[in-house]
Chains A and B, each alone.
Chain A
Amino acid sequence: MKFPFAMLRDFVETRLGPAEVGDLLTMAGFELEGIDQVEGDTVLDIKVTPNRGDGLSVFGLSREVLAKDAEARPTDLYERACRRFPMPDDGDEGETGAFATVTIQTEDCPRYACRMFRNVPQGDSPEWIQRRLRQAGMRPISLLVDLTNYVMLELGQPLHAFDLDTLAGPEIVVRRARAGEKLTTLDGTEHELAPGQMMICDAEKPVAVAGVMGGLDTEVTPATMNVLLESANFRNTTVRRTRKQLGLNTEASYRFERSVDPEGVVAALNRFAELLETVDGGSSRVYGVIDRYPGRLERHPIRLTVGRTCRLLGLDVTLDQCRNYLARLGMDVTEADGDLLVVPPSWRPDIVREDDLIEEVGRVHGYERIPEVLPQGSTPQGGVSGVYARIDLLKDALLRAGCTQVVSHSLVGTSPLDDPSAERIGPKNPVSADAAWLRSSVLPCLADAARRNGAKDLWLFEEGRTFAMGAGGPVECRRVGIYAQGALLPEHWRKGDPGRADFFAVKGILEELLSFLGLQGEWSAGSDPRLHPTRQASLLLGGKPAGILGAIHPDVARDAGLPEDCVLAELDVDLIAQTPAEPPRFRAVSRNPAVRRDVAILIDKGVPYAEVERAVAEAAGEVLERQWLFDVFEGQGIPEGKHSLAIALQLRKLGGNFTDEEANQVRDRVVAALESLGATLR
Chain B
Amino acid sequence: MEAVAAASSTQELRELEIRFLGKQGVLTGLLRTIGQLPAEEKPRFGQQVNAAKARVQAAIDERERELKRLENAARFERERIDPTMPGRRWRVGRRHVLQATADRIKAVLGGLGFEYLESPELELFRYNFEALNYPPDHPAMDEQDTFYIDDRYLLRTQCTAIQGRVFERRKPPLRVFTVGRTYRNENVDRTHGHTFHQVDCFMVDEGVSMAHLKGTLGQFARSMFGSDVRVRFRPDFFPFVEPGVDYAISCPFCGGSGCAVCKGSGWIELGGAGLVHPNILEAYGIDTDRYSGFAFGLGVERIPMMSYGIDDLRHFLENDLRFLEQFPS
A residues lining the B interface (CB < 8 Å): 26-29, 31, 49-52, 236-237, 240-241, 257-258, 311-315, 353, 355-356, 358-359, 362-363, 367-368, 370-375, 377-385, 388, 395, 398-411, 425-431, 435, 438, 448-449, 452-453, 459, 461, 464-465, 467, 473-476, 488-490, 492-494
Contact = CB atoms under 8 A, between A and B. Distances in A.
Nearest to B320: A452
Contacts of B277: 355
Contact of A375 (B155, B205, B320): B205
B149 A427 contact: yes
B139 A240 contact: yes
B66 interface: no
Contact of A383 (B99, B115, B244, B316): B115
A355 B116 contact: no
B194 interface: yes
B21 to A, nearest CB: 41
Contact of B234 (A26, A240, A406, A465): A26
Contact of A370 (B85, B120, B233): B233
A51 B216 contact: no
Given A50-B139, A452-B319, 9 more contacts: A314-B214, A370-B210, A373-B209, A375-B215, A378-B173, A402-B90, A405-B99, A438-B155, A474-B122
A410 B292 contact: no
Interface string B243-263: 111100000000000000000
A492 B87 CA distance: 8
B94 interface: yes
B313 interface: no
Contact of B96 (A29, A51, A406, A453): A406
Nearest to B207: A311
B136 A407 contact: no
A452 B318 contact: yes
A678 B318 CA distance: 53
B205 A50 contact: no
Contacts, number: 257
Max chain B Cβ within 10 angstroms of own Cβ: one of A373, A426, A474:
A373
Contacts of A400: 93
A467 B123 CA distance: 12
B319 A384 contact: no
A51 B149 CA distance: 28
Interface in B167-192: 173-175, 181, 183, 185-188
B194 to A, nearest CB: 5
A323 to B, nearest CB: 19
A467 B89 contact: no
Contact of B106 (A384, A395, A404, A464): A384
Given A29-B235, A50-B142, A50-B143, A473 B153 contact: yes
20 contacts: A26-B234, A27-B234, A27-B235, A240-B139, A355-B275, A367-B245, A370-B211, A374-B212, A384-B116, A399-B93, A401-B93, A402-B91, A425-B149, A431-B186, A452-B320, A473-B150, A476-B120, A476-B121, A489-B90, A490-B91
B93 A398 contact: yes
Contacts of A49: 236-237
Nearest to A475: B122
Given A29-B236, A363-B235, A473-B152, A358 B243 contact: yes
A489 B91 contact: yes
Nearest to A402: B91
Contact of A355 (B174, B218, B242): B242
B41 interface: no
A380 B98 contact: no
B316 A407 contact: yes
Interface of B: 85-86, 88-96, 98-99, 106, 109-118, 120-122, 135-140, 142-143, 147-150, 152-153, 155, 173-175, 181, 183, 185-188, 194-195, 203, 205-216, 218-219, 231-237, 239, 242-246, 275, 277-278, 292, 316-321, 324, 329
A26 B235 CA distance: 8
A409 B318 CA distance: 8
Contacts of A490: 89, 91
Contact of B319 (A367, A368, A453, A488): A453
A384 B207 CA distance: 26
Contacts of B152: 473
A374 B219 contact: yes
A465 B181 contact: yes
Given A29-B236, A410-B121, A494-B88, A311 B209 contact: yes
B211 A313 contact: yes
Max chain B Cβ within 10 angstroms of own Cβ: one of A26, A257, A383, A475:
A383
B319 A315 contact: no
A240 B147 CA distance: 20
A351 to B, nearest CB: 10
Contacts of B292: 311-312
B214 A405 contact: no
A375 B212 contact: yes
A325 B53 CA distance: 109
Contacts of B235: 27-29, 359, 362-363, 367
Contacts of B210: 312-315, 362, 367, 370
B93 A382 contact: no
B116 A380 contact: no
B218 A258 contact: no
Nearest to B174: A380
B119 to A, nearest CB: 10
Contacts of A377: 173, 205-207
Contact of A388 (B111, B117, B153, B233): B117
Contact of A367 (B89, B112, B233): B233
A88 to B, nearest CB: 39
A241 B233 CA distance: 34
Contacts of A380: 113, 115, 173-175
B43 to A, nearest CB: 56
A381 B115 contact: yes
A405 B96 contact: yes
Contact of B185 (A373, A431, A465): A431
B105 to A, nearest CB: 11
Contacts of A359: 235, 242-244
Q: Which 6 A-B pairs have the closest CB atoms?
A: A314-B211, A29-B235, A314-B209, A383-B110, A399-B93, A359-B243
A157 B148 CA distance: 34
A314 B139 CA distance: 31
A527 to B, nearest CB: 28
Contact of B86 (A241, A398, A435, A492): A492
Contacts of A431: 147, 185-188, 194
A372 B218 contact: yes
A430 B136 CA distance: 23
A474 B231 CA distance: 41
Contacts of A375: 113, 175, 203, 205, 208, 212, 215-216
B211 A373 contact: yes
A404 B324 contact: yes
A345 to B, nearest CB: 18
A423 to B, nearest CB: 13
Contact of A384 (B110, B219, B321): B110
Contacts of A399: 92-95, 329
Nearest to B325: A404
A358 B243 CA distance: 7
A493 B85 CA distance: 9
A536 B221 CA distance: 48
Contact of A312 (B90, B174, B275): B275
Contacts of A410: 121, 181, 195
Contact of B216 (A50, A374, A402): A374
Contact of B175 (A312, A382, A425, A427): A382
Nearest to A391: B118
A344 B92 CA distance: 63
Given A385-B115, A492-B86, A429 B185 contact: yes
Contacts of B109: 382
Contacts of B324: 404, 406
Contacts of B106: 383-384
